[in-house]
Amino acid sequence: MLPESVMRRAREELLDWHGTGLSVMEMSHRSKAFASIAEKAEADLRELLSVPDHYHVLFLQGGASSQFAMVPLNLLGTRGSADYLCTGSWSKKAIAEAQRYCTVNVATTSEADHFTSIRDPGSWQLHADAAFVHYTPNETIHGVEFHRIPETGAVPLVGDFSSTLLSRPLDVSRHGLIYAGAQKNMGPAGLCVVIVRADLITAPRAGTPAMFTYKNHVEARSMYNTPPTYPWYVAGLVFEWLQEQGGLEAMAHRNRRRAEKLYAAIDADAFYHNPVRKESRSWMNVPFTLANSDLDERFIEQAAREGLHELKGHRSVGGMRASLYNGMPDAGVEALIDFMVDFSRRHG
Protein backbone atom coordinates (compact mmCIF):
# COMPACT_ATOMS: atom_id res chain seq x y z
CA MET A 1 0.00 0.00 0.00
CA LEU A 2 0.96 3.62 -0.47
CA PRO A 3 -0.06 6.14 2.20
CA GLU A 4 -3.44 7.57 1.25
CA SER A 5 -2.27 11.14 1.86
CA VAL A 6 0.54 10.61 -0.67
CA MET A 7 -1.90 9.46 -3.31
CA ARG A 8 -4.22 12.37 -2.58
CA ARG A 9 -1.34 14.78 -3.00
CA ALA A 10 -0.27 13.10 -6.26
CA ARG A 11 -3.87 13.45 -7.44
CA GLU A 12 -4.00 17.16 -6.51
CA GLU A 13 -0.76 17.78 -8.36
CA LEU A 14 -1.52 15.45 -11.26
CA LEU A 15 -2.54 17.97 -13.92
CA ASP A 16 -0.57 21.00 -12.81
CA TRP A 17 2.53 20.64 -10.68
CA HIS A 18 3.08 23.78 -8.55
CA GLY A 19 1.62 26.15 -11.15
CA THR A 20 3.91 25.03 -13.96
CA GLY A 21 0.91 24.01 -16.09
CA LEU A 22 2.54 20.60 -16.52
CA SER A 23 2.02 17.21 -14.98
CA VAL A 24 5.20 15.62 -13.63
CA MET A 25 4.48 12.94 -16.25
CA GLU A 26 4.89 15.54 -18.98
CA MET A 27 8.08 17.17 -17.74
CA SER A 28 11.45 16.72 -19.34
CA HIS A 29 13.78 14.97 -16.94
CA ARG A 30 16.25 17.78 -17.74
CA SER A 31 13.81 20.56 -16.81
CA LYS A 32 14.38 22.81 -13.81
CA ALA A 33 11.09 21.68 -12.32
CA PHE A 34 12.00 18.01 -12.44
CA ALA A 35 15.54 18.71 -11.23
CA SER A 36 14.04 20.31 -8.12
CA ILE A 37 11.81 17.25 -7.52
CA ALA A 38 14.73 14.86 -8.03
CA GLU A 39 17.13 16.78 -5.79
CA LYS A 40 14.61 17.15 -2.98
CA ALA A 41 13.80 13.43 -3.08
CA GLU A 42 17.48 12.53 -2.88
CA ALA A 43 18.13 15.00 -0.06
CA ASP A 44 15.14 13.69 1.93
CA LEU A 45 16.18 10.07 1.44
CA ARG A 46 19.72 10.93 2.54
CA GLU A 47 18.35 12.61 5.63
CA LEU A 48 15.96 9.77 6.51
CA LEU A 49 18.70 7.15 6.27
CA SER A 50 21.56 9.42 7.41
CA VAL A 51 23.45 8.46 4.26
CA PRO A 52 27.11 9.47 4.67
CA ASP A 53 28.52 11.91 2.10
CA HIS A 54 30.86 9.33 0.59
CA TYR A 55 27.91 7.31 -0.69
CA HIS A 56 26.12 7.93 -3.98
CA VAL A 57 22.36 7.60 -4.20
CA LEU A 58 21.05 6.41 -7.57
CA PHE A 59 17.48 6.32 -8.89
CA LEU A 60 17.45 3.60 -11.54
CA GLN A 61 15.16 1.40 -13.58
CA GLY A 62 15.24 -2.34 -14.08
CA GLY A 63 14.04 -3.37 -10.65
CA ALA A 64 15.97 -5.17 -7.99
CA SER A 65 16.33 -8.03 -10.47
CA SER A 66 18.73 -5.97 -12.59
CA GLN A 67 20.81 -5.40 -9.48
CA PHE A 68 21.29 -9.16 -9.21
CA ALA A 69 23.50 -8.73 -12.31
CA MET A 70 24.79 -5.18 -11.80
CA VAL A 71 26.27 -5.98 -8.41
CA PRO A 72 28.66 -8.70 -9.61
CA LEU A 73 29.33 -6.98 -12.95
CA ASN A 74 30.51 -3.84 -11.16
CA LEU A 75 31.88 -4.99 -7.82
CA LEU A 76 33.91 -8.06 -8.73
CA GLY A 77 36.89 -6.00 -9.85
CA THR A 78 39.80 -8.36 -10.32
CA ARG A 79 38.36 -10.97 -7.96
CA GLY A 80 36.64 -14.09 -9.17
CA SER A 81 34.28 -14.91 -6.33
CA ALA A 82 31.70 -13.53 -3.96
CA ASP A 83 29.99 -14.88 -0.82
CA TYR A 84 26.19 -15.13 -0.73
CA LEU A 85 23.95 -15.83 2.27
CA CYS A 86 21.06 -17.96 1.07
CA THR A 87 17.99 -17.39 3.22
CA GLY A 88 15.07 -17.67 0.81
CA SER A 89 13.76 -17.41 -2.74
CA TRP A 90 15.16 -13.95 -3.41
CA SER A 91 18.67 -14.88 -2.29
CA LYS A 92 18.43 -17.90 -4.59
CA LYS A 93 17.55 -15.68 -7.52
CA ALA A 94 20.43 -13.34 -6.72
CA ILE A 95 22.78 -16.33 -6.53
CA ALA A 96 21.57 -17.81 -9.83
CA GLU A 97 22.25 -14.52 -11.60
CA ALA A 98 25.67 -13.98 -9.98
CA GLN A 99 26.72 -17.48 -11.04
CA ARG A 100 26.70 -16.22 -14.63
CA TYR A 101 29.58 -13.89 -13.78
CA CYS A 102 31.61 -15.42 -10.94
CA THR A 103 32.12 -18.25 -8.53
CA VAL A 104 29.48 -17.97 -5.87
CA ASN A 105 30.33 -19.32 -2.43
CA VAL A 106 27.13 -19.99 -0.57
CA ALA A 107 28.35 -19.12 2.91
CA THR A 108 25.18 -20.35 4.59
CA THR A 109 21.87 -21.78 3.44
CA SER A 110 18.72 -22.61 5.34
CA GLU A 111 17.08 -24.33 2.37
CA ALA A 112 17.04 -27.67 4.20
CA ASP A 113 14.77 -26.00 6.82
CA HIS A 114 12.56 -24.64 4.00
CA PHE A 115 13.94 -21.19 4.73
CA THR A 116 12.36 -20.84 8.15
CA SER A 117 15.45 -19.55 9.95
CA ILE A 118 18.78 -17.82 9.55
CA ARG A 119 21.65 -20.01 10.65
CA ASP A 120 23.93 -18.82 13.43
CA PRO A 121 26.59 -16.44 12.01
CA GLY A 122 29.27 -18.58 13.70
CA SER A 123 28.50 -21.35 11.18
CA TRP A 124 28.83 -19.15 8.05
CA GLN A 125 31.77 -19.84 5.76
CA LEU A 126 32.91 -16.38 4.72
CA HIS A 127 36.03 -15.84 2.62
CA ALA A 128 38.43 -12.97 3.24
CA ASP A 129 39.20 -12.76 -0.50
CA ALA A 130 35.55 -12.53 -1.63
CA ALA A 131 34.76 -9.42 -3.69
CA PHE A 132 31.67 -8.83 -1.53
CA VAL A 133 29.15 -10.57 0.70
CA HIS A 134 25.54 -10.44 -0.50
CA TYR A 135 22.53 -10.89 1.75
CA THR A 136 18.79 -10.37 1.61
CA PRO A 137 17.84 -8.56 4.84
CA ASN A 138 14.17 -9.41 4.35
CA GLU A 139 13.01 -12.42 2.40
CA THR A 140 9.67 -11.20 1.07
CA ILE A 141 8.27 -14.64 0.26
CA HIS A 142 9.44 -16.61 3.28
CA GLY A 143 8.98 -13.83 5.85
CA VAL A 144 12.50 -14.21 7.23
CA GLU A 145 14.36 -11.10 8.32
CA PHE A 146 17.85 -10.33 9.63
CA HIS A 147 17.50 -8.32 12.81
CA ARG A 148 21.28 -7.76 12.91
CA ILE A 149 23.61 -6.60 10.15
CA PRO A 150 26.08 -9.37 9.24
CA GLU A 151 29.72 -8.80 10.22
CA THR A 152 31.95 -9.13 7.17
CA GLY A 153 35.17 -7.43 8.25
CA ALA A 154 36.86 -5.62 5.37
CA VAL A 155 34.77 -7.34 2.70
CA PRO A 156 32.02 -4.99 1.41
CA LEU A 157 28.53 -6.01 2.41
CA VAL A 158 25.78 -5.77 -0.22
CA GLY A 159 22.11 -5.91 0.79
CA ASP A 160 18.94 -6.41 -1.24
CA PHE A 161 16.68 -4.23 0.89
CA SER A 162 13.73 -4.36 -1.53
CA SER A 163 11.12 -5.28 1.06
CA THR A 164 12.46 -3.59 4.17
CA LEU A 165 14.24 -0.32 3.31
CA LEU A 166 12.76 2.57 5.33
CA SER A 167 10.95 0.24 7.74
CA ARG A 168 13.43 1.28 10.48
CA PRO A 169 16.73 3.17 10.86
CA LEU A 170 19.65 1.58 9.06
CA ASP A 171 23.40 1.94 9.50
CA VAL A 172 24.27 2.57 5.85
CA SER A 173 27.98 2.84 6.70
CA ARG A 174 28.07 -0.90 7.51
CA HIS A 175 27.28 -1.59 3.85
CA GLY A 176 29.19 -1.21 0.60
CA LEU A 177 26.00 -1.19 -1.44
CA ILE A 178 22.29 -1.22 -0.72
CA TYR A 179 19.61 -1.68 -3.32
CA ALA A 180 15.83 -1.77 -3.20
CA GLY A 181 13.01 -1.93 -5.70
CA ALA A 182 10.67 0.92 -4.73
CA GLN A 183 7.36 -0.87 -4.92
CA LYS A 184 7.12 -2.04 -1.32
CA ASN A 185 7.97 0.82 1.05
CA MET A 186 8.95 3.65 -1.27
CA GLY A 187 6.56 4.22 -4.13
CA PRO A 188 5.19 2.76 -7.34
CA ALA A 189 6.94 0.08 -9.36
CA GLY A 190 9.49 1.21 -11.92
CA LEU A 191 12.12 2.69 -9.64
CA CYS A 192 15.06 1.01 -7.95
CA VAL A 193 17.19 2.90 -5.43
CA VAL A 194 20.89 2.08 -5.11
CA ILE A 195 23.10 3.51 -2.36
CA VAL A 196 26.75 2.78 -3.00
CA ARG A 197 30.04 3.69 -1.34
CA ALA A 198 32.00 5.93 -3.73
CA ASP A 199 35.24 3.92 -3.64
CA LEU A 200 33.43 0.83 -4.94
CA ILE A 201 32.61 2.55 -8.23
CA THR A 202 35.33 1.27 -10.53
CA ALA A 203 35.48 -0.08 -14.07
CA PRO A 204 32.97 -2.91 -14.58
CA ARG A 205 33.73 -6.26 -16.10
CA ALA A 206 34.55 -6.05 -19.83
CA GLY A 207 31.46 -6.19 -22.01
CA THR A 208 29.10 -4.82 -19.34
CA PRO A 209 26.28 -2.90 -21.02
CA ALA A 210 26.42 0.87 -20.52
CA MET A 211 23.07 0.82 -18.73
CA PHE A 212 24.42 -1.78 -16.28
CA THR A 213 27.46 0.33 -15.40
CA TYR A 214 27.15 2.18 -12.08
CA LYS A 215 29.88 4.61 -13.11
CA ASN A 216 27.69 5.94 -15.94
CA HIS A 217 24.74 6.48 -13.63
CA VAL A 218 26.91 8.10 -10.94
CA GLU A 219 28.53 10.49 -13.41
CA ALA A 220 25.17 11.42 -14.93
CA ARG A 221 23.48 11.69 -11.50
CA SER A 222 20.91 9.05 -12.50
CA MET A 223 20.16 10.87 -15.77
CA TYR A 224 22.31 8.73 -18.05
CA ASN A 225 19.07 8.01 -19.85
CA THR A 226 15.51 9.07 -19.07
CA PRO A 227 14.94 8.01 -15.47
CA PRO A 228 11.56 6.81 -14.13
CA THR A 229 10.44 10.36 -13.41
CA TYR A 230 6.96 9.74 -12.06
CA PRO A 231 7.91 6.96 -9.59
CA TRP A 232 10.87 9.13 -8.51
CA TYR A 233 8.42 11.99 -7.80
CA VAL A 234 5.99 9.75 -5.87
CA ALA A 235 8.90 8.27 -3.88
CA GLY A 236 9.78 11.87 -2.97
CA LEU A 237 6.25 12.36 -1.64
CA VAL A 238 6.64 9.16 0.40
CA PHE A 239 9.93 10.45 1.85
CA GLU A 240 8.20 13.67 2.92
CA TRP A 241 5.39 11.62 4.46
CA LEU A 242 7.94 9.54 6.38
CA GLN A 243 9.49 12.72 7.77
CA GLU A 244 6.05 13.91 8.87
CA GLN A 245 5.51 10.57 10.63
CA GLY A 246 8.60 11.19 12.75
CA GLY A 247 11.18 9.47 10.53
CA LEU A 248 12.45 5.92 10.68
CA GLU A 249 12.61 5.59 14.48
CA ALA A 250 8.87 6.17 14.54
CA MET A 251 8.34 3.71 11.68
CA ALA A 252 10.41 1.08 13.48
CA HIS A 253 8.39 1.49 16.65
CA ARG A 254 5.15 1.18 14.73
CA ASN A 255 6.26 -1.68 12.48
CA ARG A 256 7.61 -3.77 15.34
CA ARG A 257 4.45 -3.29 17.41
CA ARG A 258 2.16 -4.21 14.53
CA ALA A 259 4.12 -7.29 13.52
CA GLU A 260 4.25 -8.50 17.14
CA LYS A 261 0.51 -8.12 17.42
CA LEU A 262 -0.13 -10.17 14.29
CA TYR A 263 2.35 -12.91 15.28
CA ALA A 264 0.77 -13.03 18.74
CA ALA A 265 -2.66 -13.56 17.15
CA ILE A 266 -1.27 -16.35 14.95
CA ASP A 267 0.56 -18.05 17.82
CA ALA A 268 -2.49 -17.84 20.09
CA ASP A 269 -4.70 -19.83 17.71
CA ALA A 270 -3.84 -23.37 16.63
CA PHE A 271 -5.88 -22.78 13.45
CA TYR A 272 -3.04 -20.56 12.16
CA HIS A 273 0.64 -21.33 11.80
CA ASN A 274 3.74 -19.30 10.98
CA PRO A 275 6.73 -21.60 10.42
CA VAL A 276 9.54 -19.05 10.90
CA ARG A 277 11.82 -19.22 13.95
CA LYS A 278 10.80 -16.41 16.29
CA GLU A 279 14.10 -14.54 16.23
CA SER A 280 14.05 -14.37 12.40
CA ARG A 281 10.45 -13.33 11.84
CA SER A 282 9.91 -10.46 9.45
CA TRP A 283 8.22 -7.21 10.47
CA MET A 284 7.17 -6.67 6.87
CA ASN A 285 5.90 -9.99 5.50
CA VAL A 286 4.01 -12.43 7.67
CA PRO A 287 3.30 -15.75 5.96
CA PHE A 288 0.84 -18.09 7.63
CA THR A 289 -1.10 -21.23 6.84
CA LEU A 290 -4.54 -22.42 7.90
CA ALA A 291 -5.01 -25.75 9.68
CA ASN A 292 -7.01 -26.89 6.64
CA SER A 293 -5.63 -25.68 3.29
CA ASP A 294 -8.98 -26.48 1.62
CA LEU A 295 -10.20 -23.28 3.27
CA ASP A 296 -7.52 -21.07 1.69
CA GLU A 297 -9.70 -19.90 -1.20
CA ARG A 298 -12.58 -19.14 1.11
CA PHE A 299 -10.29 -17.18 3.46
CA ILE A 300 -8.98 -15.07 0.59
CA GLU A 301 -12.43 -14.45 -0.88
CA GLN A 302 -14.04 -13.50 2.41
CA ALA A 303 -11.09 -11.31 3.39
CA ALA A 304 -11.35 -9.44 0.07
CA ARG A 305 -15.02 -8.78 0.81
CA GLU A 306 -13.90 -7.11 4.05
CA GLY A 307 -11.47 -4.91 2.10
CA LEU A 308 -8.44 -7.05 3.00
CA HIS A 309 -6.62 -7.61 -0.29
CA GLU A 310 -3.46 -9.29 -1.56
CA LEU A 311 -3.35 -11.96 1.14
CA LYS A 312 -2.52 -14.91 -1.09
CA GLY A 313 0.89 -16.38 -0.29
CA HIS A 314 3.47 -16.63 -3.03
CA ARG A 315 2.76 -19.55 -5.38
CA SER A 316 6.03 -21.24 -4.30
CA VAL A 317 5.02 -21.52 -0.63
CA GLY A 318 1.20 -21.35 -0.68
CA GLY A 319 -0.95 -20.32 2.27
CA MET A 320 -1.32 -16.63 3.10
CA ARG A 321 0.99 -13.69 3.41
CA ALA A 322 0.18 -10.39 5.09
CA SER A 323 2.48 -7.57 4.03
CA LEU A 324 2.74 -4.80 6.59
CA TYR A 325 4.63 -2.20 4.59
CA ASN A 326 4.92 1.37 5.83
CA GLY A 327 1.86 2.55 3.90
CA MET A 328 -0.49 0.12 5.69
CA PRO A 329 -2.49 1.96 8.34
CA ASP A 330 -2.69 0.42 11.84
CA ALA A 331 -6.41 -0.04 11.26
CA GLY A 332 -5.59 -2.43 8.39
CA VAL A 333 -3.65 -4.71 10.72
CA GLU A 334 -6.40 -4.54 13.37
CA ALA A 335 -9.00 -5.40 10.73
CA LEU A 336 -6.96 -8.40 9.57
CA ILE A 337 -6.60 -9.72 13.12
CA ASP A 338 -10.34 -9.28 13.78
CA PHE A 339 -11.13 -11.08 10.54
CA MET A 340 -8.75 -13.95 11.39
CA VAL A 341 -10.29 -14.42 14.85
CA ASP A 342 -13.75 -14.48 13.32
CA PHE A 343 -12.77 -16.83 10.47
CA SER A 344 -11.18 -19.28 12.88
CA ARG A 345 -14.29 -19.20 15.11
CA ARG A 346 -16.49 -20.01 12.13
CA HIS A 347 -14.28 -22.62 10.46
CA GLY A 348 -11.75 -23.82 13.03
Residue 136 vs 213, nearer CB to ligand PMP: 136
CA 15/CA 23 separation, integer angstroms: 5
User: Which of 17, 55, 84, 90 touches ligand PMP by CB under 6 A?
Assistant: 90
287-311: b (≥16 Cβ within 10 Å) or e: bbbbeeeebbeebbebbeeeebeeb
Closest to ligand PMP by CB, 71 vs 340, is 71
Q: Under the criterion CB under 6 A, does residue 271 sit at the interface with ligand PMP?
A: no
Q: How many residues bind ligand PMP (CB under 6 A)?
A: 10
Position closest to ligand PMP via CB: 63
**Segment contacting ligand PMP by CB under 6 A, of 48-56, 62-70, 114-122, 243-251:** 62-70
Per CB under 6 A, the segment of 51-59, 61-69, 123-131, 227-235 that binds ligand PMP is: 61-69
- Find the shortest distance in angstroms from Cβ 92 to ligand PMP: 11
CA separation for the pair 118, 153 (Å, rounded): 19
Q: In the complex with ligand PMP, which residue's Cβ is closer, 62 or 247?
A: 62
Instruction: Give dist(CA 257, CA 331) in Å, integer.
Output: 13
Our finding on whether 326 is near ligand PMP (CB under 6 A) is no
Q: What are phi and psi of 204, to 5 degrees?
A: -80, 175
Q: Does 167 bind ligand PMP (CB under 6 A)?
A: no
Q: Residue 160: phi, psi to the nearest 5?
A: -90, 95
Catalytic residue among 17, 83, 90, 92: 90
Q: Is 133 within 8 Å of 152 (Cβ atoms)?
A: yes
Distance CA 171, CA 50 (A): 8
294 an active-site residue?
no
Q: By CB under 6 A, is residue 216 in contact with ligand PMP?
A: no
Pick between residue 37 and residue 69 the one whose CB is nearest to ligand PMP.
Answer: 69
Q: Which of residues 163, 167, 213, 280 is near ligand PMP by CB under 6 A?
A: 163
**Least gap, CB of 75 to ligand PMP (angstroms):** 17
Beta bridge partners of 56: 196
> Residue 115: how many CB atoms within 10 A of its CB?
24
What's the residue count for the chain? 348
CB neighbour list of residue 288: distance below 8 Å, 6 or more residues apart: 266, 272, 273, 274, 319, 320, 321, 322
156-164, 170-178, 194-202, 225-233 -> range binding ligand PMP (CB under 6 A)? 156-164
The residues carrying an active-site annotation are 90, 160, 184
Interface positions with ligand PMP (CB under 6 A): 63-65, 90, 136, 140, 160, 162-163, 181
